Amino acid sequence: MKDSNTRIDEQFVSSVLAGDLPAIDSLLTPESAGLSSAEVVDLFETQVMSRHLDLQSRLMQKKGQSFYTIGSAGHEGNAAYAKAFRHDDMAFLHYRSGAFVIQRSKQVSGQTPLYDMLLSFAASSEDPVSGGRHKVLGSKDLFIPPQTSTIASHLPKAMGAAYSVGLANKLDANPVMKDDAVIVCNFGDASANHSTAQGAINAAAWASYQSSPMPIVFICEDNGIGISTPTPNGWIKANFQHKPGLKYLSCNGLDVLDTHKTAQEAVSYARRTRKPVFLHFHTVRLLGHAGSDSEFVYRDAQAIAAIERKDPLLHTAGILIDNGILTPQQVVDVYQGVKAKVARIADYAGQRPRLEQAEHVLQSLVPQPQAPNLPEPANPIDRAELFKHEKHNLDKPQHLAKLINWALIDAMADNGNIVMCGEDIGRKGGVYNVTSRLIEKFGSPRVINTLLDEQSILGLAIGLAHNGLLPIPEIQFLAYVHNAEDQIRGEAATLSFFSRGQYTNPMVIRIAGLAYQKGFGGHFHNDNSFAVFRDIPGIIVANPSNGADAVEMLRECVRLAQEEQRVVVFLEPIALYMTKDLHETGDGLWTFPYVEPAKAKPIKLGELGQYGKGKELAIITYGNGYYLSRQAEKMLADAGIKTRVIDLRWLAPLNEKAMVEAVKDCKHILVVDECRKTGSISEAILAALVEHQQHISAPVSAISRLCAEDSFIPLGSASYTVLPSKESIYEAATALVKGDKAKSGKGAKEVENA
């Protein structure tokens, strides 16, 4: 039995020459579909290019030249709807969109899509999109942010980009897209079932239902199967046809005339009304899911043959021949000519250099700094007016929540492209009033109350960043981020890496988190693990322990996002939001004066905090742990143990060099970690101390850690039984110091006796 590559290839030629072509139900002509004869030929050429790229990728794989064989075969009809969009209508694409990219590239001079894609197949370092890091479909010139493997994870940011179009033009920003742009986002029928897709489409419809502009065309390319699992007949239509706020259209994706005509209607509607469209594109999948997919295991030969007879290239060939545009031989000549061209290019591309050194791979992990491209505000904001409601408090020390609020006010006043988004951050001011009055000062366009869906919140933020805005999304509680962590891990953090830094999505993600909340329990509102962020390459995690640090660190986070295009997580310790006292009621030692931006003392990325200069003991900690360690430090001082307390502040990347320098002359080191023993940052801290043992005075035996128990946080007073406390820190510290002294004494005695 011939392999699928050979069957599909030979079937096209023999069927065209024999006149054995599928019947076309539509009565459309090229003219009635809005196409000239030349344009239909052009679409066919694009489809053939995409097909031969797929066939060639599998031949290259056999030669060891290609590493990716998920192709577009069967989906080549997306060339027809690509033609209906402008090249600057930003496109978020799934992996079966080769024909779309090729067709769009024809709108921009100087493009070489065949060579570019073949370099991508070969993972060549000369690939202009990812530089050999992955096979991606993308292009800066074509307004196509690259995607790797998309199981609907790109839909939330596509929705966010659509929302940004109308928003950006209202603000002091230089948007990337024109004010009449439309977003196009495609995905498969199986992916339509994913919660990410459901959430993004629902968010778009939710906004549209309230008359918020949402110019996006969602295109579900329905081939009837997800790898090996069939999609029930009528399922997609039943789900989306009558959804409020969403216009449903359907087309035959095998017919380029019907597809182009319907796509034009979809684009026109979205551009004119600024409302979302769901375009249901019916097609087939050829060549299986990927080169490694044994389709015959779950489909019998008869079913496979029936699907292969529906080849969209055969349909287009029929249109060309029936309308007298090309003869059968001319159709075959186009097909064979492209085949030879792709083969020639593949021979060259398969031999191009690849990434061979780790430092070259890592070059695009962190974006290159760039000066923000922001216009001068049309109406500069009067700072005195902004703070008039607080004029009696500005000179008084304040707690953490109030100081973050004031820092946000100044940041939004100084950066006209900042947009806040999150649940309840508007009139309510957030659960803890941290965003209080921001909506009154900057308006609903810049302080967006979102629906209750973390995937949509973070997707909105990524989409805003794609259009020149600086989003500061808020996740209401740390544990809620798990509902949407892939928007950070798989989308925001990877974009620079897989685009050679051509695309970035700078943002500051504010998250209220960590434990010690009185009256709260469970793993949703009192969560003490941020491990989810620690293994994401390239992101920054900031964690202030007090209001003074929070102000300066937040300003640095905004700068890092604005100027260095970084993805930053700003983790705010909930339990310290309203804390005012340190040692005793009324001492006010955990309140701090607000320093306005003009008098700021920046806390740069990686800069540690330190209290005390004792050399007997160093405590390394962060967040609530720093607050508790400061309390324990007083107890230790009263016991005659001279201590210094190190506040890490920046938890990722961990500044190991500065940390080692801060404790190098101390005899004992205690790491206090409020997070769970397993998977906590204390593991990394201890590893770093051991690896840098030659640079510190404390021997390994004089280094210890105190962590929370490996437990979720229970309700009420029971919560404190599984968390470090000032008492347990004091006990661990004294045991470490006294225990080490005892060992030293014993050791000396043994030497003496010897």
Would you state the pLDDT for residue 752? 28
Least reliable range by pLDDT among 548-552, 598-602, 636-640: 598-602
Order of strands across the sheet with 447-449? 447-449, 418-422, 470-475, 507-513, 567-573, 540-542, 650-652
133, pLDDT greater than 60: yes
The b/e string for 67-92 (b: 16+ C-beta within 10 A; e otherwise) is bbbbbbbbbbbbbbbbbbbbbbbbbb
**Region 23-41: what's the mean pLDDT?**
93
301 band by pLDDT with thresholds 50, 70 and 90: confident
The length of the chain in residues reads 754
Cα–Cα distance for residue pair 134/121, rounded to 1 Å: 8
Cα–Cα distance for residue pair 322/310, rounded to 1 Å: 17
Would you state the pLDDT for residue 122? 93
Can you read off the two tokens belonging to residue 23? 């019947």
β-strands 540-542, 617-621: how paired? unpaired
With contact defined as beta carbons under 8 Å apart, do 251 and 189 qualify?
no
| HSE (side-chain half, CA atoms, 13 Å) at 95 | 20
Q: Which residues pair with 230 in a beta bridge?
A: 225
H or E, element range at 216: strand 216-222
740 band by pLDDT with thresholds 50, 70 and 90: low
Long-range (24+ apart) CB contacts under 8 A made by 438-443 are: 438/405, 438/408, 438/409, 438/412, 441/386, 441/409, 441/412, 442/412
Cα–Cα distance for residue pair 447/741, rounded to 1 Å: 57
Can you read off the two tokens belonging to residue 42? 């052009």
With contact defined as beta carbons under 8 Å apart, do 547 and 405 qualify?
no
The b/e string for 245-258 (b: 16+ C-beta within 10 A; e otherwise) is bbbbbbbbbbbbbb
201, pLDDT greater than 90: yes
Start-end of H helices in 415-546: 438-442, 454-465, 485-486, 495-498, 522-525, 531-534
With contact defined as beta carbons under 8 Å apart, do 516 and 577 qualify?
no
With contact defined as beta carbons under 8 Å apart, do 96 and 137 qualify?
no
With contact defined as beta carbons under 8 Å apart, do 572 and 404 qualify?
yes
Q: Which residues pair with 219 in a beta bridge?
A: 186, 279
754 band by pLDDT with thresholds 50, 70 and 90: very low
Q: What is the DSSP string of 84-140?
A: TS-TTS-EE--TT-HHHHHHHHTTSTT--HHHHHHHHHTTBTT-TTTTTS---EEET
602 band by pLDDT with thresholds 50, 70 and 90: very high
751 band by pLDDT with thresholds 50, 70 and 90: very low
H or E, element range at 643: strand 643-647
Cβ neighbours, 10 Å, residue 601: 8
Least reliable range by pLDDT among 233-242, 317-326, 362-371: 362-371
Identify the CA nearest to 121 among candidates 280, 337, 314, 345.
345
Q: Which amino acid is at 399?
A: H
The predicted-structure confidence for 308-338, as pLDDT tens digits, reads as follows 899 999 999 999 999 999 999 999 999 999 9
753, pLDDT greater than 80: no
Q: Is 250 helix (H, G, I), strand (E, B) or coil?
A: strand
The predicted-structure confidence for 146-164, as pLDDT tens digits, reads as follows 987 668 999 999 999 999 9
Distances (CA, A) of 696 to 9, 583, 633, 664, 736: 68, 31, 21, 4, 17
Residue entry with tokens 């760039």: 370
With contact defined as beta carbons under 8 Å apart, do 680 and 707 qualify?
yes
The predicted-structure confidence for 458-509, as pLDDT tens digits, reads as follows 999 999 999 999 999 999 999 999 999 999 999 999 999 999 999 999 999 9
With contact defined as beta carbons under 8 Å apart, do 593 and 421 qualify?
no
1 band by pLDDT with thresholds 50, 70 and 90: low
287 band by pLDDT with thresholds 50, 70 and 90: confident
Close Cβ partners of 189 (under 8 Å, ≥ 6 residues apart): 220, 221, 222, 223, 224, 225, 226, 231, 235, 236
Q: What is the pTM of this model?
A: 0.94
Cα–Cα distance for residue pair 458/464, rounded to 1 Å: 10
**Region 585-595: what's the mean pLDDT?**
97
Would you state the pLDDT for residue 378? 63
Close Cβ partners of 3 (under 8 Å, ≥ 6 residues apart): none
Can you read off the two tokens belonging to residue 528? 């003490």
Question: Phi and psi dihedrals of 713, rounded to 5?
Answer: -85, 120
Q: Is 536 helix (H, G, I), strand (E, B) or coil?
A: coil
686, pLDDT greater than 60: yes
Would you state the pLDDT for residue 370? 80
521 band by pLDDT with thresholds 50, 70 and 90: low
With contact defined as beta carbons under 8 Å apart, do 102 and 96 qualify?
no
Peptide bond into 714 cis (omega under 30): no
**Region 609-635: what's the mean pLDDT?**
98
Cβ neighbours, 10 Å, residue 351: 10
Q: Which domains does the chain have, with CATH numbers?
A: 14-352 (3.40.50.970), 386-599 (3.40.50.970), 610-753 (3.40.50.920)
The predicted-structure confidence for 652-664, as pLDDT tens digits, reads as follows 999 999 999 999 9
Q: Which residues pair with 280 in a beta bridge?
A: 220, 250
H or E, element range at 675: strand 668-676
**Region 256-263: what's the mean pLDDT?**
98
Would you state the pLDDT for residue 524? 77
Would you state the pLDDT for residue 303? 87
169 band by pLDDT with thresholds 50, 70 and 90: confident
- Among positive and negative, which fits the CA dihedral 495, 484, 200, 470? negative
Can you read off the two tokens belonging to residue 150? 């998309």
